[in-house]
């Protein structure tokens, strides 16, 4: 296992380089330039060129990339164009809120979705199964922005139970209870999709497991249904579910762009929108590389979890 992990980590290095090159090319091929936001419409060519030089955009693209790569290897991800602040501290300050929001959402979603999927599979074909399956399709189909705006109108504007957005009250001291109060609506909006998606996968996997021969054998031996479920059913059903969890883990850093924008949550998703609008190339490069690192780490973690859940899986 150790050799496999080391090999995967070494393989990730050229993958990250290719991702950074692709991101750099796409950003520079996009219409417009960062200088458009920092010069007046009647600026002279001399002023435009001076602005490009100040932002480090006067060099050829390959030189700009290798300069960025050299600084990134030393821990310098560049300077934010609009504020002239280093990118790394800004990025670090936004990771915490995003992990708080997405981590709470994923844990809450799995704690609800996995039992619902098991119940739906055990009640296959009944009204309970039909109700849960129909609710899952609704949860997958409803757009985040529509659900978010609806919840804000009902619970924030009309009932005034929850704040309309942000992570803490203006002028308040914050604290754990305040953070929970601000988390409720965004977590509900995000969980609607994750609960629905995981319920569907858990149901389909459990139905397949219940049809296996070893489940029939355990039933024929007279084992209790709870024992069959815990010892034989859930563990074998977790292998496909782990794959879904692996695709959800990168969202811990990538965040939910639409939901964070609706609720004004100060995370990476909202920062991404601001960076795109202001053409903050260093910030976008940093977010892209960070997301790629998390995706690669999630894939490695999923492979390790496969071996933990299923002893038949060996990595040589």
Please say whether the beta carbons of 308 and 301 come within 8 A.
Answer: no
* Domain carrying residue 303: 91-267+298-309
Please tell me the pTM assigned to this model.
Answer: 0.80
Residue 204 belongs to a domain: yes
Domain with residue 146: its CATH number is: 1.10.3720.10
What angle in degrees, to the nearest 10, is found between the helix axes of 281-309 and 61-73?
60
Answer yes or no: is 194 within a domain.
yes
Nearest alpha-carbon partner for 48 in 60, 39, 57: 39
The answer to the question of residue 247 being in a domain is yes
Look at 45-54, 111-120, 133-142, 292-301 and tell me which has the smallest mean pLDDT. Answer: 45-54
Whether residue 43 is contained in a domain is answered as no
Average pLDDT over residues 137-162: 86
**pLDDT one-digit tens code per residue, 219-253:** 777 777 777 776 667 777 777 778 787 777 776 66
Q: 173: burial class by Cβ within 10 Å (0-12, 13-18, 19+)? A: exposed
Please give the Cα distance from 192 to 244 (Å, whole number): 16
User: Lowest mean pLDDT: which of 2-6, 10-14, 108-112, 134-138?
Assistant: 2-6
Per-residue model confidence as pLDDT tens digits over 36-68:
777 766 777 777 778 777 777 777 888 888 888
The structural domain count of the chain equals 1
What pLDDT was estimated at residue 312? 66
Q: Say if 28 falls within a structural domain.
A: no
Are 106 and 252 contacting, i.e. CB atoms less than 8 angstroms apart? yes
């Amino acid at each position: 296992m150790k050799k496999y992990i080391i090999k995967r980590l070494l393989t990730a290095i050229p993958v990250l380089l290719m991702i950074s090159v692709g991101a750099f090319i796409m950003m520079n091929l996009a219409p417009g330039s960062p200088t458009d936001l920092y010069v007046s419409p009647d600026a002279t060519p001399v002023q435009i060129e001076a602005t490009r030089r100040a932002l480090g955009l006067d060099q050829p693209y390959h030189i700009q990339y290798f300069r960025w790569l050299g600084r990134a290897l030393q821990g310098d991800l560049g300077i934010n164009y609009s504020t002239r602040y280093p990118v790394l501290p800004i990025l670090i300050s936004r990771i915490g809120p995003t992990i708080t929001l997405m981590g709470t959402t994923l844990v809450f979603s799995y704690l609800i979705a996995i039992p619902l999927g098991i119940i739906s599979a055990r009640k296959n074909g009944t009204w309970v199964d039909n109700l849960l399956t129909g609710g899952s399709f609704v949860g997958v189909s409803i757009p985040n922005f529509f659900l978010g705006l609806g919840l804000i109108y009902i619970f924030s504007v009309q009932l005034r139970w929850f704040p309309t957005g942000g992570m803490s009250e203006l002028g308040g001291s914050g604290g754990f209870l305040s953070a929970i109060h601000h988390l409720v609506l965004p977590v509900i909006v995000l969980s609607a999709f994750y609960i629905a998606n995981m319920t569907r996968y858990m149901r389909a996997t459990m139905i397949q497991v219940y049809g296996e021969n070893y489940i029939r054998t355990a039933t024929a031996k007279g084992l209790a249904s709870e024992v069959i479920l815990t010892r034989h059913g859930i563990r074998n059903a977790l292998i496909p579910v782990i794959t879904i969890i692996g695709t959800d883990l990168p969202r811990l850093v990538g965040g939910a762009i639409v939901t964070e924008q609706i609720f004004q949550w100060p995370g990476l998703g909202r920062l991404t929108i601001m960076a795109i609008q202001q053409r903050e190339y260093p910030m976008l490069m940093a977010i892209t590389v960070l997301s790629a690192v998390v995706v690669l780490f999630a894939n490695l973690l999923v492979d390790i979890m496969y071996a933990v859940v299923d002893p038949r899986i060996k990595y040589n």
